Amino acid sequence: MNANEFDEDAASARRCFQEGSTFEIFGRIRSFRYAFHGLLILLQTQHNALATVVAAIAGWHWGISKTDWSWLILTIGSVWAAEAMNTALELLADAVHPAFHPLVGKAKDVAAGAVLITAMGSLIIGLTIFGPHLIYNK
């Protein structure tokens, strides 16, 4: 998708959200296309999101329970969501105020802190799930 196509699709999406607009199936399909494009940007720019793949491979390798899979999927989803929100905020902040600004810096730091909180919680869940497998080599 080139820049002109993206701009045209963005204009079309904006029209979908205007007051009085009706439901359009093609508008919903375009929304999914934007979402997948955003996911691609996330995976291309945030290599920590790809690190969660290691946890999924470990879960498959050790045959973890359905309950553990539920926790693992929830954990991976929360890390990816936090990374996505952080990336979106950083991109938007850089677009609005390219030069350094202390408030923009604080906003970016808070967003990065949210990712850290999510990652720490995920680490604890990961150790709970995989710790016994690592210690007892099951």
Q: What tens digit of pLDDT does each residue of 81-132 get?
A: 999 999 999 999 999 989 999 999 999 999 999 999 999 999 999 999 999 9
Mean pLDDT lowest among 13-27, 48-62, 69-83, 88-102:
13-27
Residue 101: in which H helix or E strand, if any? none
Q: Which residue has the tokens 């899979």?
A: 69
Give domain limits for the chain: 1-45, 47-138
CA distance 129 to 109: 30
- Are 111 and 85 contacting, i.e. CB atoms less than 8 angstroms apart? yes
CATH architecture of 47-138: Orthogonal Bundle (1.10)
Determine the Cα–Cα distance for residues 120 and 103; give it in Å rounded to an integer.
Answer: 25
For 90, the enclosing helix (H) or strand (E) is helix 66-96
Mean pLDDT of 2-28: 63
